[in-house]
């Protein structure tokens, strides 16, 4: 009888720890994305890319129209990531073309480098210890144009 009670208590403790670690992992994942999980642009991305997990997002007005857009770095396939911009048109959402993105240690920064709109964004990251970065601009709500970069071909 005492053995059964101990076994049940051990099972409950292990089960409780499992639930606790799952909730922490889920919270870390949401915080790591860079936007809230209920961001409507992120939800649109998830709806249009149900088989692609978002890794990191940046939320900024990328086409200089006064509405924030969402840059999404996502897993395209094994060891191949891509990025796309979800554009808020004011009447709905649309997607830019996609381009390559770093595999590991992704980082997004927004800078108005030339002091004219639209704003530029810097994406950096690594792959197998090789680091790279590139400066991009969204052109005509369609193309993610690589303006300048170094080492991106080695980390994407």
pLDDT in single tens digits along all 156 residues of the chain: 666 676 666 665 676 556 566 555 444 444 578 999 999 999 999 999 999 999 999 999 999 999 999 999 999 999 999 999 999 999 999 999 999 999 999 999 999 988 888 999 999 999 888 999 999 999 999 999 999 888 777 767
Domain total in the chain: 2
| Domain match, 47 and 115 both | yes
Residue 26 confidence (pLDDT):
46
Give residue 84's domain range.
Answer: 36-155
Segment (H or E) for 125: strand 120-127
Segment (H or E) for 21: helix 2-33
| Domain match, 55 and 87 both | yes
| Domain match, 44 and 105 both | yes
Residue 8 confidence (pLDDT):
67
| Domain match, 42 and 100 both | yes
Residue 27 confidence (pLDDT):
45
| Domain match, 1 and 46 both | no
Distance CA 133, CA 125 (A): 7
Q: How many degrees, rounded to 5, is the angle at CA 39 between CA 81 and CA 94?
A: 65
Residue 7 confidence (pLDDT):
64
| Domain match, 149 and 72 both | yes
Q: 136 with 98: CB under 8 angstroms?
A: no
| Domain match, 27 and 47 both | no
| Domain match, 111 and 124 both | yes
Residue 3 confidence (pLDDT):
64
| Domain match, 145 and 78 both | yes
| Domain match, 10 and 24 both | yes
| Domain match, 2 and 73 both | no
| Domain match, 75 and 133 both | yes
Residue 125 confidence (pLDDT):
95
């Amino acid at each position: 009888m005492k053995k059964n009670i101990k076994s049940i208590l051990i099972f409950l403790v292990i089960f409780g720890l499992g639930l606790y670690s799952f909730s922490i992992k889920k919270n870390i994942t949401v915080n790591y994305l860079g936007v809230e999980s209920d961001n409507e642009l992120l939800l649109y991305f998830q709806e249009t890319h149900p088989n692609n997990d978002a890794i990191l997002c940046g939320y900024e007005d990328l086409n200089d129209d006064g509405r924030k857009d969402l840059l999404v770095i996502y897993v395209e396939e094994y060891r191949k990531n891509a990025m796309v911009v979800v554009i808020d048109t004011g009447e709905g959402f649309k997607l830019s073309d996609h381009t390559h993105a770093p595999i590991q240690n992704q980082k997004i920064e927004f800078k108005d480098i030339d002091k004219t709109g639209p704003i530029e964004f810097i994406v950096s990251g690594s792959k197998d210890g090789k680091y790279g970065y590139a400066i991009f601009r969204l052109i005509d709500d369609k193309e993610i144009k690589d303006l300048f970069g170094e080492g991106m071909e080695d980390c994407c």
